[in-house]
Structure formats: C-alpha cells, structure tokens
C-alpha cells in the first residue's frame, strides 16, 4: 500500500512544534489487529491541545491527533470484526497514546472497535463522536438515578459546545425542561432549535459567596466546564438531585463544603468517556442510533478537511466553535513527501 496522508505533529530541532499534513506508511502505525480506512474523524478540545504538542495529550512526538474515527475495516485478525465492516472508535487511547483519527488509516486493537450500529451513518457517528457519547453518558447517569422530567429543570453549562449541544438535544428529546447556560447569547436561537426551554447567560450562575448552600433550582445538571461554576451548581441543586461532570475548562479545583452531599443528598457523577467499558459503550451507541437518534446532526456539525485544521484548532481553543466539527481525512492536499523522511 502506498503512503497516505495524516496530520502529523512533530518537534523540530529548535524545540518548536510543527503540525501539518504529511505522508506516512502503514509500518509507522501502532500495533493492532484491525486496520481501518478512515472516512471521518472529528475535532475535540483534546485534539486541539494535541495539535499544539501538549504533553498531557500528545505524550510522545511525532503524533497524529484525533480521539475519534469512523470508517471501513480493510484488514482484521479478529474473528468478530470482518473486512468491509463499518466501525467506529472513540477514546481508548486513540489520538493520545496511539496515532489518531486525523489520518487516512488507523490501526486499533479489536477490543476498542465498535461496529457501526444500524441506524447511524459514518458521518453521523462522527458528528456525535466523543462529544455525543459523553453527553449520552451524562443523560444516562441522570436517568439511572430516577430524575424524571417532572422533577424540574435540568441545567446544561457550556451549552454551545460539542458536549453541551448534544446534552441539550438529548435531554430535550427525553422530555426534560432544559436550561442552557452560555456566554454566547448570540447563539440563543441555535440552542432553542436544539430544544432548550430557556437560554441564560453564564453570569446567572455567578455567586462568589462562601455560603455552603444556595437556593435549590435544578433537579439535575450536565456540567462541561468545572471550576467555580460546578461549585455553584452543586450548591443550588435540589434535594436528591444529580450533577454529571465532564469538563474543566473553567478550572480543576472544587472549593466547596460537603453540605450539598450530606444535607441535600446531591450526587456528583464523574463521566469518563475514553475508558468506558465495552458493554455500556455498545449500549449507548445502540441508543444513539435508535431511541436517542437526533434527526438534525447535519445542523450541529460541519465538515472540514485537513487544510482547515490550523484555523479550526485556534477557534476551538479560543472558545469560538459552536456545535461540532467533523474532519474528512481523504480530502486534504498533501505534499509529495515529508522533507524529514518519515514520522518516527
């Protein structure tokens, strides 16, 4: 097989980070028993950090970002994964310890590969990607703790982002009254289109007091930002309410008392998508293709090529991305050869 394009991040001799489209060969992919020709990947905040050589994500350079990939199996040594089968991968070290989905091919262990569920296209699976999968886990965590729509409003922070957009849409589809919190009031109509009953400015959650509890407002919440907003959500969640937390762009610290937990019985549920076990992973993808299927994924997601990645990476790091960005690897213009030889 001839060399193929990927978006490679490397460290130059002067220590600078270079990220651009290059050609690599199959021998440079990590080991695994399934080789996938990638039709679509996606852009996540974590991918943008990897594209800048962040050592917490791109743990070894050179590196190919992309924590999501969907495509067709072209080689398989696994009995349960067939050549020609359409599959997807989210997390499972893809785009972190392993070369990721910003490539025409990825190689993965078969235990990380999800057969594309009936009812989803390859594009739709990546329009969802890690963001949709994470949002679905949050909604499931709320439902499993018996928070039904009659309990009251559910708050979603960072509502115009990937996870936030899908959380708004999935909760609304399930019948909840969704309050979308955002710093982008110009996107209020977009959020209402997704199903938000109310769109409020993120300043509405500001409370710098040291009171252990605030007025109870939310039956549940999906928090994508962490930090002080998460503190204030926990202090204002109703008795026996649930908060699903999956982000930290507002900070990793959580300065609060135990009172929300021991006086109101609030549950704080951490959502870890990358290493979710396969059984619940398969069940969630099945639901995203059936009773949780969103009919307007093309309005949430837009498609870019490798050539658009530098600008899109800057946008997502600056908090300027609304919805989802799907990456189409094959459509990029690729140099004839890497001037530095190979990617190792």
Nearest Cα to Cα of residue 21 among 341, 344, 329: 329
Report the distance separating Cα 171 and Cα 219, nearest Å: 13
Please write the tens of the pLDDT for every residue from 138-187: 999 999 999 999 999 999 999 999 999 999 999 999 999 999 999 999 99
3-state DSSP assignment of residue 139: helix
pLDDT recorded at residue 295: 87
Report the distance separating Cα 313 and Cα 58, nearest Å: 15
Whether residue 340 is predicted with pLDDT greater than 90 in this model: the reply is: no
* CATH T-level fold of 131-270: Rossmann fold (3.40.50)
Whether residue 344 is predicted with pLDDT greater than 90 in this model: the reply is: no
Please write the tens of the pLDDT for every residue from 311-334: 999 999 998 898 899 999 975 444
Please write the tens of the pLDDT for every residue from 254-282: 999 999 999 999 999 999 999 999 999 99
162-173 helix and 122-144 helix, angle to the nearest 10 degrees: 70
122-144 helix and 278-288 helix, angle to the nearest 10 degrees: 110
Query: Cβ–Cβ contacts within 10 Å for residue 21, how many?
Result: 19
Please write the tens of the pLDDT for every residue from 42-67: 999 999 999 999 998 998 999 999 99
Q: Class for domain 4-119+293-331, per CATH?
A: alpha beta
Mean pLDDT (the chain) is 93
Nearest Cα to Cα of residue 30 among 114, 93, 113: 93
Please write the tens of the pLDDT for every residue from 81-97: 999 999 999 999 999 99
22: pLDDT confidence band, cut at 50, 70 and 90? very high
Report the distance separating Cα 38 and Cα 331, nearest Å: 11
pLDDT recorded at residue 2: 85
Q: Do domains 4-119+293-331 and 131-270 have the same CATH topology?
A: no
Helix (H) or strand (E) holding 164: helix 162-173
Whether residue 35 is predicted with pLDDT greater than 60 in this model: the reply is: yes
Q: What percent of the chain has pLDDT over 70?
A: 95
Report the distance separating Cα 121 and Cα 73, nearest Å: 15
pLDDT recorded at residue 331: 54
Q: What are the extents of the domains in the chain?
A: 4-119+293-331, 131-270
pLDDT recorded at residue 59: 87
């Amino acid at each position: 097989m001839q060399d193929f394009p990927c978006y490679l991040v490397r460290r130059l001799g002067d220590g600078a980070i270079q990220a651009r489209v290059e050609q690599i060969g199959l021998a440079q992919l990590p080991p695994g028993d399934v080789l996938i020709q990638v039709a679509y990947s996606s852009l996540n905040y974590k991918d943008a950090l990897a594209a800048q050589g962040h050592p917490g994500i791109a743990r070894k350079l050179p590196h190919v970002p992309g924590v999501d990939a969907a495509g067709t199996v072209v080689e398989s040594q696994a009995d349960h994964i067939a050549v020609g089968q359409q599959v997807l991968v989210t997390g499972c070290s893809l785009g972190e310890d392993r070369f990721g989905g910003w490539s025409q091919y990825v190689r993965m262990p078969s235990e990380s590969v999800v057969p594309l569920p009936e009812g989803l296209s390859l594009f739709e699976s990546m329009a969802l990607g890690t963001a949709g999968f994470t949002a679905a886990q949050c909604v499931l965590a709320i439902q499993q703790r018996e928070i039904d729509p009659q309990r009251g409003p559910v708050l979603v922070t960072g509502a115009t982002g990937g996870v936030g957009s899908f959380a708004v849409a999935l909760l609304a589809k399930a019948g909840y009254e969704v309050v979308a919190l955002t710093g982008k009031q110009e996107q209020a109509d977009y959020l209402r289109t997704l199903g938000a009953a109310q769109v409020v400015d993120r300043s509405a959650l500001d409370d710098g007091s040291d009171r252990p509890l605030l007025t109870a407002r939310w039956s549940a919440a999906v928090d994508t930002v962490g930090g002080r907003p998460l503190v204030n959500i926990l202090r204002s969640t109703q008795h026996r309410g649930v908060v699903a937390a999956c982000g930290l762009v507002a900070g990793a610290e959580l300065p609060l008392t135990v009172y929300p937990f021991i006086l109101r019985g609030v549950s704080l549920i951490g959502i870890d998508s990358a290493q979710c076990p396969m059984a619940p992973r398969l069940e969630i993808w099945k639901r995203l293709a059936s009773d949780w299927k969103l009919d307007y994924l093309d309005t949430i997601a837009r498609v870019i090529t490798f050539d658009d990645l530098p600008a899109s990476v800057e946008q997502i790091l600056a908090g300027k991305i609304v919805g989802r960005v799907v990456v189409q690897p094959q459509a990029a213009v690729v140099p004839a050869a890497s001037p530095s030889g190979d990617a190792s």
